[in-house]
C-alpha cells in the first residue's frame, strides 16, 4: 500500500463514526427517535382509538415535528437531551377534537415505545370536571413504579388499570385533574421511579405528559 493510501485509510477509520449521516456527541448520537402512541383516554386493546392529526413539535425547535396518523403512533426525532414537546389538538375518526398539551421528554426513555399517552375530548373532559383555567397532569407508568403524587393542589387522582379509570394514584397511568398552576411548575414524585425531572411545567388548559419508569 502506498503512503498516501495508507494515510487515507487511517483517516477514514478515525472519522467514519462521525459522518454527516450519523452525527455524534460525546454522550452518543445527537438525535434520537421518540416512539410511543397518543390515544383516546378510554382506549383499550379491544376498543383501540388513536388520536389523528396532532402536531408534535419540539418547543423552540420546529424542525423536529411530526403529525400523528390515525392510530396515534408517535415517531418523532428529537435532540438527545431533555426537551419539551408541544402536543397540538388532534381529533378522532368523527372529527371530535382532543385536548392538547406538552410532553416532558427524557431522552433515555424516548426509545422503546415508552411514551404511551392518552388525551380526551371535551365531552369526556367534563366527566373529570375539566377547568380550562387550570393544568392537567398525566403520568404513564412504565414497568412497575408505585404511587404518583404532585406538590401542587389538584382534584383527586384517577388511575387506569388497562380497562377503566377509577379513583387512585397507582396504575398503568395516573391522571391528576385541575392542578393549580401557581408559579407554573410543580414537583412530581413516583415511588420507585428514577430519573424524573426536578420539576414539571404547568400550563392552563393543557395536559402535561410525563413517563415514569423504574
**Does pLDDT of 7 surpass 70?**
no
Residue 10 inside a domain? The answer is: no
Q: What would the pLDDT profile of 84-117 be if each residue is shown by its tens digit?
A: 999 999 999 889 999 999 999 999 999 999 999 9
Residue 159 inside a domain? The answer is: yes
Number of domains within the chain = 1
Residue 184 inside a domain? The answer is: yes
Residue 24 inside a domain? The answer is: no
Domain region containing 79? 29-213
Band (pLDDT 50/70/90 cuts) for residue 195 is confident
Distance CA 126, CA 123 (A): 6
Band (pLDDT 50/70/90 cuts) for residue 162 is very high
What cell numbers appear for 102 in the block?
Answer: 406538552
**Beta-sheet pairing, 65-67 with 200-201:** unpaired
Residue 21 inside a domain? The answer is: no
Distance CA 104, CA 206 (A): 13
Q: What is the Cα gyration radius of the chain?
A: 20
pLDDT at position 93:
87
**Does pLDDT of 196 surpass 60?**
yes
pLDDT, the chain, mean: 89
Residue 94 inside a domain? The answer is: yes
Q: Could you tell me which residues are beta bridge partners of residue 51?
A: none
Supply the pTM of this predicted model.
0.86
**Does pLDDT of 31 surpass 60?**
yes
Residue 3 inside a domain? The answer is: no
Residue 5 inside a domain? The answer is: no
Alpha helix positions (H), the chain: 3-15, 107-110, 122-125
Amino acid at each position: 500500500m502506498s503512503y498516501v493510501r495508507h494515510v487515507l485509510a487511517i483517516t477514514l477509520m478515525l472519522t467514519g463514526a462521525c459522518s454527516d449521516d450519523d452525527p455524534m456527541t460525546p454522550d452518543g448520537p445527537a438525535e434520537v427517535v421518540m416512539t410511543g402512541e397518543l390515544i383516546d383516554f378510554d382506549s383499550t386493546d379491544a376498543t383501540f382509538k388513536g388520536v389523528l392529526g396532532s402536531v408534535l413539535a419540539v418547543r423552540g425547535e420546529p424542525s423536529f415535528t411530526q403529525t400523528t396518523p390515525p392510530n396515534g403512533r408517535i415517531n418523532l426525532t428529537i435532540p438527545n437531551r431533555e426537551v419539551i414537546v408541544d402536543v397540538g389538538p388532534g381529533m378522532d375518526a368523527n372529527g371530535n377534537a382532543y385536548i392538547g398539551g406538552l410532553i416532558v421528554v427524557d431522552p433515555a426513555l424516548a426509545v422503546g415505545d415508552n411514551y404511551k399517552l392518552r388525551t380526551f375530548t371535551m365531552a369526556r373532559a367534563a366527566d373529570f370536571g375539566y377547568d380550562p383555567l387550570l393544568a392537567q397532569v398525566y403520568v404513564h407508568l412504565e414497568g412497575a413504579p408505585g404511587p404518583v403524587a404532585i406538590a401542587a393542589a389538584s382534584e383527586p387522582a384517577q388511575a387506569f388499570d388497562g380497562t377503566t379509570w377509577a379513583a387512585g394514584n397507582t396504575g398503568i397511568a395516573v391522571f391528576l385533574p385541575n392542578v393549580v398552576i401557581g408559579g407554573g411548575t410543580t414537583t412530581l414524585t413516583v415511588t420507585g421511579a428514577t430519573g424524573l425531572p426536578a420539576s414539571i411545567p404547568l400550563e392552563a388548559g393543557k395536559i402535561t405528559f410525563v413517563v415514569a419508569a423504574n
